[in-house]
Structure 1
């Protein structure tokens, strides 16, 4: 984030300085004495040198970003921002500064005629204003619209806007200069000059606003989601570096094509474990007394489903009264495609009075969770989620106590409350010293969460359901951060004194958290501050699989994560983009079954993004261009600003799969795309016509 913050400060300062220089230069013809002229010219030169120095620092900053993060972090800036800034900065150096310096040698004897002509020259005024506007564009794009992979059209549009905004100031100074050359210039009173300046500024603003409004109107219309679609962008089929696939017209008749609805797995096998989940609204009360108007499964907060590894699991979902319909997505579980729970892609939404049965083999042991994927930003927020625990056939470590904690932020009648399930107060649990405790931690929140376990060394034994080989002990001053949608299994041996698990920076003795104690709970709870943060890229024994040793991949994809202001489905919003686009204009990634796939995540935005690929697990290979010490397996990878990750997986689960940011508010305004196998065709449609509204 350092480069982003520094770039923002520099470009805003540059914009202000060049505006001052341009305005000051426009006032030079009205200076009444030679001495004052030299003072003003010297002052404007000094400000110009400061502006150029800041521009040089900004360039160094961009080079530093390139060296640290790579070309893709700066490509958009170099291709779209640099050309516009050069239009202003080069004339400043070539014309404005030499003219300002010339006033040092001007003779009082030539005052006022020759000096008046010099002070009114357009090249004293137009370049600084051009530099100000170019810097302003750079400042705007730092915060509101990181340029990603700009097309020639996008760059041309910015240049046209730039030139249009320059028209009125240029006309004003050119007209004045011509009047002076003809000897027809008379200095107007200050109030008239101020009025002309204001009119020119207003006209410039009107032109700029008009251009922006025209573009906004086009964006407004283009942003409206289609009434019906199969969720695939057939205009932008990203095939990586693999062999091109036939995905255009006529592919539906291909003999080897299979529909999503047929990708159920073997559902004829009798179920070993069965559950019934009823989606319903219910008023619930948190431990603090705060009341939530919740949407729940079975009227419970975060119900827990458990199965044994190898079981055939069957879950029947009934929608009692959730008007917009519901589904169940098995987060992190690589189920057959038709069981993935994405409305409009793998099934139709389950409307009130309807049901849907999910059935799959529980091959993966570990800690997982489930949630609705119908308008998920709203439905998960309101409570449609729970935990899914699959116990291994053979546990290598025997645990005496096991606690599942799923944290979430609730909207209550007393404001927002953070809780583990419905417990927004400190929980207390008595445990005998010497007992081995396993914590299953699930983050159902919309942001990453930091945890601190105090009072005992501990181990992180699993990340996103995948065991860590040879986990090392971590001190009780080592915090760990869990991505939105992520899971950690944590174990520790109960000492003869209390152990506290707490969220984030809170020192609230009433929670949320959990206090483990022996004979009796302590009268007071002591809090510590962390000294370090857990780094999974340097922990345990490296994962070893076909991807960690791979040097070549069948397909390689790049996902650049950004943000910009704009319209989404007709509403003005802060948009979160992938490769400069928002769904449904994001690319569709095309793969063949059996291929080795590498994906590079590049976060140029101002927020973290926990990237979640359905139906597959990713092995993390590189961070910021360097191989990680201990590759690990994950399904929800948190990518922070200015970070890059390279991950790999095998295309071994045919279907159409969502790949999105699990900050669900980000997915709701565009940060999602889809991975599709080249022989799979859609069975469902998304949009208002069907009521399938995935996000």
Structure 2
């Protein structure tokens, strides 16, 4: 529905632009026609038709905006109503009041009337251009007083200047007897000047968008407090106003804490110790393509790290030959901030020949994964990821009568384009896996690709036992349901192996996106395409969520996801992905204090879905589109928000630090859709940029 409304808006604005150009040219011609012995009626008729078309299109645009409001809510139209509606409606009223009466009928038009018509019609065109600029290049998602008045003031100034110009121009035409040739020459000159100015602005804007060689990930001017008290210790990075930082901390009565102090245990014998070596390796994909992968320990996926709840884990990362540097981020695991593995925020990237050790205690269970968070849009795609499985403290090991299989879905760039591959660990042959009938099977499905995947399991009823590592309450058996997993998300699927083959597939029938489980590894499975998509908010049995949606929250934030159709970012032009109308580093920073109960409303106003990933915390899903969950409680670290959807989520601020919150379509994060959650008294000594070599996205 949202996509339809958005497409209609684009079509209406394009139509309004065409009507404005047509009416504007005709109105300009009227200034010359009124001084001709026999004024040609075509100018008048064209201006009349164009003016009416513009007014009707503005009315239709308003109707679409009203429909969006009633269907989806205020968050989807607030910028349209507060900022854009006056820019379209007021000029349309001006045209109706000043231009249409003068254009009606065949009565001779005075020069003053022609000037008024031209000024009104051109003002409507200027308003349309402003709205087009806002929709495509500088969306004011959450309008403030400045945005609601600045553009209106610009339009008012433009209208006044147009009125003065056209009145002066008709006097000049009358005095000098200018004809249509003069009009054509002036129009061409104005057009050429506009093109030159536009190109100059484009190049200036691109240059201005370049990041400094070194900058902090935190910017105090972006701090938002969610309606709660402004913490006295709300400070920025140690690189910003060092003396003021200490003054504020002293006034607050507590010293600022650096992320470097928020570590896991530095001493004690680890319960699980691993070494990950980042290195380049040629690998052959199931599709038959050979690619240069960036790997952990020479394999893709990297080694599966299996630990138990309560374990002290130690992982040494060694960079052998990845020139960009690497880190390890523990996706979905609430580690101490210093162990989070974000280059430029919690550590420096580990360069070739260097090493870094992570130590932390795992206090949760479930299916998680690890990946590099240095140039993650590049490095994850090239293979720097692996599974991190946390078993229950007293749970039994997978053994006789059970099978525990982790499967990654990943997109690879090959000479034949992007190919999606299902990666199986351990012994497997040609997409086959031998599992004896009667075996209790757990498939841990991990989407390490950026884009959403649809999984299907054919040949047996199954249960979704966990999502993002959180157990589903009393999951029911389903058949033929597809599982929609966003980038970074995980589903645990369980079933009892039948006597006949079972197939796991992605939408699409390529062999590399199908895995067949059978008793002998030789049989074919019955694969049927399609089927309904399982709704996680309506699945499982209802139980109270860890956080009640009716609780009193200390802070409530709004996160509006938008796209900028063409923008400049760090010296490049592309479609940008915005949060609250801004791209990093101008995206909002949500400031909390330890112990706060926090609610966030996430609104997706783009054509793309967005798997939003909050580091260091788990989000309790309260509602979708205003309706509370009906099935099992959902506690996620990566929330897939489809176009036109609104989610309310909550979390307890119980893990001090500075945490990324970003879209896990990693290209979207690299093009702006990245922000931060910071605790009031936490600072970081690290920076991003060419000087430090840290590039988290």
Q: Is the structural similarity TM-score above 0.5?
A: yes
Q: TM-score, with normalisation over the residues of structure 2?
A: 0.88
The offset of 1:165, in angstroms, is 7.6
Aligned-partner Cα distance in 2 for 1:24–1:349: 61
Aligned-partner Cα distance in 2 for 1:157–1:241: 25
Aligned-partner Cα distance in 2 for 1:173–1:588: 47
> Deviations along 1:59-102, whole A, 9 cap, x unmatched?
12212222333333222222322232234212111122222223
Say if 2:614 is the partner of 1:627.
no
Aligned-partner Cα distance in 1 for 2:312–2:397: 25
Who is 1:283 aligned against?
A: 282
In structure 2, the residue corresponding to 1:121 is in which secondary structure?
Answer: helix
The offset of 1:118, in angstroms, is 6.6
In structure 2, the residue corresponding to 1:125 is in which secondary structure?
Answer: helix
Who is 1:309 aligned against?
A: 309
> Deviations along 1:451-505, whole A, 9 cap, x unmatched?
22233332211110001001122231x222111111111123334443322212x
2:546–2:620 contact (8 Å) kept in structure 1: no
- Superposition pairs of residues 606-645 of structure 1, within 5 angstroms: 606-630=607-631, 631-645=633-647
1:548–1:619 contact (8 Å) kept in structure 2: no
Structure 1 residues 205, 348: CA separation in 2 closer, same or farther (over 3 Å shift)?
closer
Instruction: Give 4+ residue runs of structure 1 displaced > 6 Å after superposition.
Output: 31-36, 163-172, 396-399, 422-426
2:406–2:424 contact (8 Å) kept in structure 1: no
Structure 1 residues 86, 220: CA separation in 2 closer, same or farther (over 3 Å shift)?
farther
Say if 2:221 is the partner of 1:235.
yes
Q: Which runs of 5+ in 2 are unaligned?
A: 236-243
Who is 2:204 aligned against?
A: 217
Structure 1 residues 97, 295: CA separation in 2 closer, same or farther (over 3 Å shift)?
same
> Deviations along 1:167-220, whole A, 9 cap, x unmatched?
9987885456336766x64654xx66544433343344445555x45xx63674
Who is 1:557 aligned against?
A: 557
1:576–1:671 contact (8 Å) kept in structure 2: yes
Q: CA RMSD in A?
A: 3.2
* Count of aligned pairs between the two proteins: 673
The offset of 1:375, in angstroms, is 1.4
Say if 2:475 is the partner of 1:471.
yes
Who is 2:240 aligned against?
A: none
Structure 1 residues 173, 117: CA separation in 2 closer, same or farther (over 3 Å shift)?
same
Structure 1 residues 282, 186: CA separation in 2 closer, same or farther (over 3 Å shift)?
closer
Greater shift, 145-154 or 1-10, is seen at 145-154
Structure 1 residues 421, 390: CA separation in 2 closer, same or farther (over 3 Å shift)?
same
- Superposition pairs of residues 325-364 of structure 1, within 5 angstroms: 325-364=325-364
2:594–2:679 contact (8 Å) kept in structure 1: yes
Who is 1:142 aligned against?
A: 135
In structure 2, the residue corresponding to 1:437 is in which secondary structure?
Answer: strand
> Deviations along 1:616-675, whole A, 9 cap, x unmatched?
100010212332324411000112222221111111112221111111112223222222
Say if 2:37 is the partner of 1:51.
no
Who is 2:686 aligned against?
A: 684
Residue 493 (structure 1) aligned to one of 493, 496, 509: 496
> Deviations along 1:218-269, whole A, 9 cap, x unmatched?
6743x33343344221233222222221224224555444332222233423
2:287–2:419 contact (8 Å) kept in structure 1: no
> Deviations along 1:147-169, whole A, 9 cap, x unmatched?
21345555666457657887998
Who is 1:112 aligned against?
A: none
Say if 2:329 is the partner of 1:323.
no
In structure 1, the residue corresponding to 2:342 is in which secondary structure?
Answer: coil
Q: Which runs of 5+ in 1 are unaligned?
A: 107-114
Structure 1 residues 337, 56: CA separation in 2 closer, same or farther (over 3 Å shift)?
same
> Deviations along 1:574-618, whole A, 9 cap, x unmatched?
322222222222232221212211111122233222111111100
The offset of 1:3, in angstroms, is 1.9
In structure 1, the residue corresponding to 2:420 is in which secondary structure?
Answer: strand
Structure 1 residues 295, 61: CA separation in 2 closer, same or farther (over 3 Å shift)?
same
In structure 2, the residue corresponding to 1:445 is in which secondary structure?
Answer: coil
Residue 201 (structure 1) aligned to one of 167, 171, 191: 191
Aligned-partner Cα distance in 2 for 1:230–1:48: 51
Who is 2:461 aligned against?
A: 457
1:454–1:528 contact (8 Å) kept in structure 2: no
Structure 1 residues 486, 526: CA separation in 2 closer, same or farther (over 3 Å shift)?
closer
Who is 1:297 aligned against?
A: 296
Structure 1 residues 409, 174: CA separation in 2 closer, same or farther (over 3 Å shift)?
same
Who is 1:662 aligned against?
A: 664
Residue 406 (structure 2) aligned to one of 404, 407, 413: 404
Aligned-partner Cα distance in 2 for 1:143–1:568: 15
Residue 70 (structure 1) aligned to one of 68, 73, 83: 73
Who is 1:580 aligned against?
A: 581
1:76–1:147 contact (8 Å) kept in structure 2: yes
1:165–1:204 contact (8 Å) kept in structure 2: no
In structure 1, the residue corresponding to 2:335 is in which secondary structure?
Answer: coil
Structure 1 residues 463, 95: CA separation in 2 closer, same or farther (over 3 Å shift)?
same
Structure 1 residues 204, 361: CA separation in 2 closer, same or farther (over 3 Å shift)?
closer
Aligned-partner Cα distance in 2 for 1:149–1:331: 30
Who is 2:239 aligned against?
A: none
Structure 1 residues 418, 196: CA separation in 2 closer, same or farther (over 3 Å shift)?
same
- Superposition pairs of residues 169-188 of structure 1, within 5 angstroms: 174=167, 177-178=170-171, 185=177, 187-188=179-180
1:325–1:350 contact (8 Å) kept in structure 2: yes
